[in-house]
Amino acid sequence: MRVKEHPILNFNHQNEIHFTYNEKPMVGYEGDTIGAALYDNGIRHFSDSVVHKRPRGLYCAIGNCGSCYMQVNGVENVKTCMTLLEDDMRVISEVDEDKDD
């Protein structure tokens, strides 16, 4: 789901940004965070809870909760909700893909 129009904010969804998530090609837009682009591409399972191993999604989107940590361009524990998307980024989750919905 993507907000396309807003009474106050101006969204520029013209400049596509290409990146990979777990080696799968994805497309986002200039100004997107990695988390927003993943969510827009249908990714809902961002991490697992430590104790019960239950799936966690994009939660706070302001960098407070730690539910969105992933590896980005070889750097671990990047907050995808706060990091702007760049062309050719390589994003790797630590989620068990077989449990993904």
Give me the domain span that covers residue 34: 16-92
Q: How far is CA 68 from CA 5, 11, 95, in A?
A: 26, 23, 11
- The domain tally of the chain equals 1
Q: What is the DSSP letter of 92?
A: E
Would you say residue 11 lies in a domain?
no
Tell me: pLDDT of 88 over 90.
yes
Residue 97: inside a domain: no
Quote the percentage of the chain above a pLDDT of 90. 50
pTM for this model (two decimals): 0.81
- Structure confidence at residue 87 (pLDDT): 97
The DSSP element (H or E) to which 78 belongs, if any, is strand 75-79
Identify the pLDDT of residue 66.
78
The verdict on residue 79 lying in a domain is yes
In this prediction, residues 47-53 reach a mean pLDDT of 83
Question: Does residue 54 form part of some domain?
Answer: yes
Distance CA 1, CA 56 (A): 18
37 occurs within a structural domain: yes
The CATH number of whichever domain residue 72 belongs to comes to 3.10.20.440
pLDDT of residue 58: 81
Q: What average pLDDT does range 79-96 have in this prediction?
A: 91
Average pLDDT over residues 94-100: 60
